[in-house]
Chain A
Amino acid sequence: MLAEIGLTCLLLAFIAAVYAVIAALYGARKHNDRFVNSARNAALLTFPLLLVSALVLLIGLLNHQYQIAYVWQVSNPSTPDFYRFTALWGSQQGSLLFWCLVMSAFSAAAITLNWRSNHRLMPYVIAYTMVTLAFFIGLSLFLENPFARYWILPDNSVVSTVLIPAGGVAPSSLRLAETARGLNPLLRHFGMIIHPPMLYLGFTGFVIPFAFAMAALASGDLTTNWIKATRRWALIAWLFLSLGLLLGGRWAYDVLGWGGYWGWDPVENAAFIPWLIGTAFIHSVMIQEKRGMLKTWNMFLVIGTFSAVIFGTFATRSGLIESVHSFAQSQIGTPMFLFWAAVTLVSVGLIVWRWNRGELKDEHAFAGLLSRETLFVLNNVVFVALAAAIFWGSFGAPILSELVLNTDITLGAEYFNNVTPPLFLALYILMGIAPLSAWGATTARSLGRALVVPLALTAVSLVVIVLLGTTSPGALLGYGVVLLAGFVALYETYRGAAARRRKTGDNLFKAALALFGRNRRRYGGFIVHLGITVIGLGVIGSTLFQVETQQTLQIGESLNLEGYTMTYSGLEPGQIADDGRIMDIALVTVSRDGRELATLRPRHDIYPPTAANEDPMVMNIAGAYSTLENDFYVLFAGGEGSTATFKIYINPLINLVWWGGLILILGTVISVWPTETLPAHARERSATIHRAGAPA
């Protein structure tokens, strides 16, 4: 019964989404509000229907309904309730359903909140969001149905089908429970509870700016309305995508056991590419808002971001690429590829059509080489080049090589570490300079003057870094460029607060708070830049100065590494955890200058095979002693008798990556936070004053 309810809701959601598309387009064409309203209602209905569908699956997971094939695949009787909940997105079918739920939530929120203010765009927004949603629900319904159940046929074969087959009998629930597979051990981590939902929120969130952009093209309302309507949505999606990437990095660091957080894996890159293009878009729309420029380019960027989202999803879910992060090979590859190609072609076609009609002309020309808009365009070029280079390394070259030269190649970290650093450096340089320039025009002299203090602070910091022992020119260049961007953000905030303090007589802290209240977007943006600076410092430190060694120790024996002393104290083999995994735990003590700092327990988690033809799965869980200076990160590589082999990494400044992430989140939340809306009479008064005071 449970599965039937979920299936029915899924089917109804699909019908509602398809109906919404048809009604919205018909209503827009005939200027018939009744149809448009009906389309809105149908679009809003998809959310509760999908919510019920997802809840039903969750209930199935929590109540051990192993006849549902998905529940059998991702859980077993020993799976803790905590992981039963996260198993909702633990495999292809469940995660597709969850994806649909998140997308419908975004769509419903955007349609409701923008209904009055952007009424002209709404029919097309409904059509675009619902086309996308209907496609994904269709995949879930027809190809990867999470409500398929196991049946025993009269010939004793077992099948998994959505509808009850002729003569099919439900298998014994005891037998199903005994053979249930359980959640992939890689997914049994705290990071996996939040990481996938964040990533899905980021991915699906970009459907809103995309739908508004397409609505603007389709309706002919090519003013900045669509940008104003979607600026916050784009930032929210960007925030979630950033969170998803950070949590994914943390999960990799804790669970994958290779001492790092970013391996340039194609699936990681598939999420990073939309982030890069989305970041370019977030910057570029400011030019259109302020100067009425880059209309076509912004359209391309928003399409590029959404296209990268769909392509990334296709690459991860179709079996196109092999990765520890990807889903197993599935039959959704071809339809997803066709959908991606169709969305991209139709969108680009719309842009070309409007462009040919001369409706995407810019209202201003570029005034100077150092104007903020020029520097933003340069920043956009670098972001897009970076996205293209990463796309090439992850997908372009391997696919082309296989298709044309029939050779399977890998482009690993070596490729990305060669290609991306110059582009990242260029980005940080622009991040440092662009906020100091002004819209319209800036002279080199005034820009130079504004740079004096941040440059001086950077120079002082570099001297300190050299005195601390870093002399590598490459590292110093990296630190210098990254620090400059951070100091510019800090200095600009300080300048603003100081100017306000002079004007109002408030103290500096109060002045800074008032400043943030007046322009959250600008100063929230500076905090984001500060977060990116801190992340940059962490990345440089942990990439260039990581030290690793692998050594075998006897019990009681010690090794020294970078000032730390690690002593192997003993092994606790065969510990059995609540979920049935067997743990071999090595005990090591870490000390520095004769002072014991921590006892670490790096371990092997051995998950017994669930089928006779399978091998046990072994996870290598690290033990780490963390400080802001570095992480002492130990992996237990294996042991025999009284000896054990350890792989030890010293990861300098790695915690700055996580702290920088938190700062970035704080800055984005400040930027997104709604500004207090003045009452209508106050708005009118303010507008009158502004008009009177506006320059000619």
Chain B
Amino acid sequence: MNRWFELPGRQGILLPLILQPLLLKLCAALRRKRGEGANGTSEPLSPFTWERGRTEGSGVRGWLRAPTAFSLRSWRPGGLFVLFLLCFTMPAFAQGALDDGVVSADEVNMVARRLYCPVCPNERLDACQTQACVNWRSDIRVQLEAGRNEDEIVADFVRRYGERAAGVPIDPTLNALSLVTPYVIAVIALAVGVFTFLRWRKRPTTQPTVLTTTSAASPPDQDYRSALEKDVEG
């Protein structure tokens, strides 16, 4: 993700990208302060729970989708600050507007890239073209609009479809097993290499060999020159 900070011409997206999660977190904190969704926000989302939350007025509130639920009086402490932040995030909304929603398709794909289609063979969710995956991407959009961050959405998919839905397991044991093992393998391989090298250095030469270059006893520079000479001699 660090490339967003490095590439020229990205400033229009960079600012919203930084501010939007802050904005969403702030709103979630405000909701918690009001006692809304005390357990609702930790409850994993699904299209069903989302609908229930909206229609029954409990659980997660779709504040970005449902302006009628917004009351300036009750949100006074943070409301002005939210409006202030919105001024800075307008470029993001302008871009997102092209994708017929508040959350842009790019943001959805950014999360989908960390997930694998639960039913297709080894296909990333952002690339999979089946209808099921289109629906899952819509689900991600809904969750993003509800204020969930990437990690929470990935965790929700893992809860629903198992660890295979994530690009790397989120369970700490499986995660450690997966990511640490290759480094252990590399260290062991290196240790074996070093050990073998040290053993070989101690070992005397067993029998003479006709070398194509000069022998190891020659001056070190001579070896290199001789090798090159051999290549170029007419």
Q: Which residues of B contact A618 (CB under 8 A)?
A: 129
Judge whether B202 and A365 touch: CB under 8 Å: yes
Q: Which residues of A contact B116 (CB under 8 A)?
A: 410, 412
Taken residue by residue from 199 to 228, chain B's Cβ proximity to chain A (1 for < 8 Å, 0 otherwise) reads as 011111111111111111010110110111
Those of B1-22 within 8 Å (CB) of chain A: 2-3, 6-9
Q: In the docked arrangement, what's the CA distance between A499 and B225, Å?
A: 11
Q: In the docked arrangement, what's the CA distance between A503 and B228, Å?
A: 13
Of the stretches A18-26, A198-206, A442-450, A589-597, the one at the interface is A442-450
Q: In the docked arrangement, what's the CA distance between A366 and B201, Å?
A: 5
Judge whether B177 and A365 touch: CB under 8 Å: no
Q: Which residues of A contact B229 (CB under 8 A)?
A: 499
Judge whether A695 and B218 touch: CB under 8 Å: yes
CB distance from B198 to the nearest CB of A (A): 9
Given contacts A266-B122, A363-B206, A385-B189, contact A401 B177 (CB under 8 A): yes
Give which listed residue, A377, A384, A389, A475, contacts B182 with CB less than 8 A.
Answer: A389
B151 within 8 A of A: no
Taken residue by residue from 603 to 640, chain A's Cβ proximity to chain B (1 for < 8 Å, 0 otherwise) reads as 00000000000000010100000000000000000000
Judge whether A695 and B215 touch: CB under 8 Å: yes
Judge whether A389 and B186 touch: CB under 8 Å: yes
Judge whether A409 and B231 touch: CB under 8 Å: no
Q: Which residues of A contact B2 (CB under 8 A)?
A: 472, 474
Given contacts A290-B211, A290-B213, A439-B211, contact A393 B174 (CB under 8 A): no
Judge whether A550 and B106 touch: CB under 8 Å: yes
CB distance from A541 to the nearest CB of B (A): 11
Q: How large is the interface on B (under 10, 10 to 19, 20 to 34, 35 or more residues)?
A: 35 or more
Judge whether A378 and B193 touch: CB under 8 Å: yes
Those of A456-478 within 8 Å (CB) of chain B: 469-472, 474-475
A401 nearest in chain B by CB position: B174
Judge whether A362 and B105 touch: CB under 8 Å: no
Given contacts A377-B193, A381-B189, A695-B214, contact A258 B127 (CB under 8 A): yes
Interface centre among A371, A439, A562 (most CB of B within 10 A): A439
Give which listed residue, B171, B192, B197, B232, contacts A500 with CB less than 8 A.
Answer: B232
A414 nearest in chain B by CB position: B167
Give which listed residue, A259, A410, A414, contacts B163 with CB less than 8 A.
Answer: A410
B5 nearest in chain A by CB position: A472
A45 within 8 A of B: no
Q: In the docked arrangement, what's the CA distance between A326 and B100, Å?
A: 37
A451 within 8 A of B: no
B123 within 8 A of A: yes
B178 nearest in chain A by CB position: A397
Judge whether B205 and A365 touch: CB under 8 Å: yes
Q: Which residues of A contact B178 (CB under 8 A)?
A: 393, 397, 409, 411, 415
B181 within 8 A of A: yes
B182 nearest in chain A by CB position: A389
A504 nearest in chain B by CB position: B234
CB distance from B9 to the nearest CB of A (A): 7
A502 nearest in chain B by CB position: B232
Judge whether B218 and A392 touch: CB under 8 Å: no
Judge whether B200 and A363 touch: CB under 8 Å: no
Judge whether A290 and B212 touch: CB under 8 Å: yes
Judge whether A438 and B220 touch: CB under 8 Å: yes
Interface centre among B116, B182, B186, B203 (most CB of A within 10 A): B182
Taken residue by residue from 383 to 406, chain A's Cβ proximity to chain B (1 for < 8 Å, 0 otherwise) reads as 011001100110011001100010
CB distance from A148 to the nearest CB of B (A): 26
Give which listed residue, B127, B168, B231, contacts A496 with CB less than 8 A.
Answer: B231
A291 within 8 A of B: yes
Judge whether A363 and B186 touch: CB under 8 Å: no
Q: In the docked arrangement, what's the CA distance between A436 and B3, Å?
A: 35
Judge whether B169 and A409 touch: CB under 8 Å: yes
Give which listed residue, A258, A291, A436, A503, contacts B211 with CB less than 8 A.
Answer: A291
Q: Which residues of B contact A361 (CB under 8 A)?
A: 206
Judge whether A440 and B124 touch: CB under 8 Å: no
Judge whether A549 and B106 touch: CB under 8 Å: yes
Give which listed residue, B3, B127, B164, B220, contacts A409 with CB less than 8 A.
Answer: B164
Of the stretches A86-94, A482-490, A511-519, the one at the interface is A511-519
A324 within 8 A of B: yes
Q: Which residues of B contact A694 (CB under 8 A)?
A: 210
CB distance from B18 to the nearest CB of A (A): 18
Q: In the docked arrangement, what's the CA distance between A396 and B109, Å?
A: 29
Given contacts A324-B122, A423-B186, contact A440 B215 (CB under 8 A): yes
Judge whether B98 and A385 touch: CB under 8 Å: no
Give which listed residue, A369, A414, A471, contacts B6 with CB less than 8 A.
Answer: A471
B162 within 8 A of A: yes
Judge whether A392 and B181 touch: CB under 8 Å: yes
Taken residue by residue from 655 to 696, chain A's Cβ proximity to chain B (1 for < 8 Å, 0 otherwise) reads as 000000000000000000000000000000000000000110
Those of B164-187 within 8 Å (CB) of chain A: 164-169, 171, 173-174, 177-179, 181-183, 185-186
B190 within 8 A of A: yes
Q: Which residues of A contact B169 (CB under 8 A)?
A: 401, 407, 409, 411
A426 nearest in chain B by CB position: B186
A413 within 8 A of B: yes
Give which listed residue, B179, B183, B200, contacts A362 with CB less than 8 A.
Answer: B200
Give which listed residue, B163, B168, B213, B232, contacts A518 with CB less than 8 A.
Answer: B232
B114 within 8 A of A: yes
A321 within 8 A of B: yes
B196 within 8 A of A: yes
A402 nearest in chain B by CB position: B164
Q: In the docked arrangement, what's the CA distance between A407 and B114, Å?
A: 19
Q: Which residues of B contact A371 (CB under 8 A)?
A: 216
B121 within 8 A of A: yes
Interface centre among A361, A382, A519, A549 (most CB of B within 10 A): A549
Interchain Cβ contacts under 8 Å between A and B, 11 examples: A263-B124, A265-B122, A377-B196, A385-B189, A409-B174, A410-B122, A439-B213, A446-B224, A500-B232, A552-B98, A552-B105
- Closest A-B pairs by Cβ, 5 of them: A258-B127, A322-B121, A412-B167, A389-B182, A550-B105
A263-B124, A374-B197, A393-B182 given; 20 more Cβ-contact pairs under 8 Å: A258-B127, A265-B122, A290-B211, A322-B122, A324-B122, A377-B196, A377-B197, A392-B181, A392-B185, A400-B177, A410-B166, A413-B167, A419-B182, A423-B186, A436-B224, A439-B213, A440-B223, A443-B220, A515-B231, A549-B106
